Structure 1
Amino acid sequence: MASTQVNPTRMELTKQKKKLVTAVRGHKLLKDKRDELMRQFLDLVRENMELRKKVEAGIRSANTNFVIAKAGMSEETLNTALMAPKQEVYLETGKKNVMSVDIPVFEYKTRTPDANDIYSYGFAFTSSDLDGAVKSLADILPDMLRLAEVEKACQLMASEIEKTRRRVNALEHVIIPEARANIKYITMKLDENERSTQIRLMKVKDMMLEEAHHYKEREAERGA
């Protein structure tokens, strides 16, 4: 339905046509963006599921080893062994832009590059199960950080998909139909005005011809 505030002028018609072209182009670009966001979002969801299973399995393994280690060691010995961590981890945060969405990126560095430099205790008074628990937690650290990245990325992309979907719907169901209706309304009004003008001109022409005919008749009468 055409807007009641649209002026049926040629300038307004040109404006509405440009608006329609822009809206159609924007609609296509936003649809392409929405589809690509959905594709990448589904890829991240699948990766998230796999990472979560892997991390949960690693945590279960570490917890199992800790329980077994605690059963074979005194609480004092266990607390002493874990009191002062040997390795240190430095976490750096960044971001990357994916389809106008800023995705977080986590990178970590350890104080020493040796992957086995994680045991803060001697092996004489501790069980091998404690070693397995510490190793399990160290092994799943990269996956835990990647899982945090992916889960946050999924949240941000889901929000962006919803915003893009609303914009696509607004263009498709409101702005584009309104612009087309306005163009149709203005075109009809301009055609109607043009027909009215032509009719008036034809009437004026007939009146002028009739007046000229009467003038010639009067001139002829005078000459007789």
Structure 2
Amino acid sequence: MSGVPVQVLPAGEHAVLVEAPGLAEVLALAVAVRAAVARGGAPWSGVTDVVPAARTLLLVGDRLDPAPVADAVRTLAAVVHADASTPTDGDLVEVPVRYDGPDLDDVARLTGLTAGEVVAAHTGTPWRVAFGGFAPGFAYLVGGDPRLRVPRRDTPRPSVPAGSVGLAGEFSGVYPRASPGGWRLVGTTDVVLWDAEREPPALLRPGGLVRFVAVDG
């Protein structure tokens, strides 16, 4: 498919909010916008941050002029290809996981796979960091094995331990800290997702890739 239909709205004096039909379109447009910003030149030189979400893309910057940036986004969106082959624009991060999660057997039952096949599917395909949300360091990961799409739990847990690796819908993710949550937990990791003393603090950033690696408990 060629071209992404968008609605571009001003968001204050120095930001632009782009509304797109879905996540695939947002991710494709984010790659194109980041590439344009990296090349520089007007009006992209005023953009300092590109923030994707499930259906929107926020462009911000202290020197961003909303009107010309909005026009540039519309022009760029008209030639963007939003499909599964959209390239990534970040690093690959390997996350070691002990597949000892309390919902592993439930995921196997829901998908018709064995527990071992769930692990193989989760580790067999790189996941893409789509966007962050709900807690510092949490990343919504997409693009994994489609057989792993499972619903959230009917009853969320009041507390999910930090490092828990979960599945929900089309997403996978790692809880950066203890918090309530309704995702299906398949494993745990010791990787630190958020460290305020690290630069940048978030280990997983939009546009990058994540590969889960099974390790012994």
Structure with the largest fraction of strand:
2
Q: Which has the higher contact order (CA 8 A, sep 6+)?
A: 1
Structure with the largest fraction of helix:
1
| TM-score, length of structure 1 as denominator length | 0.18
For the pair shown, the structure with the greater C-alpha radius of gyration is 1
| TM-score, length of structure 2 as denominator length | 0.18
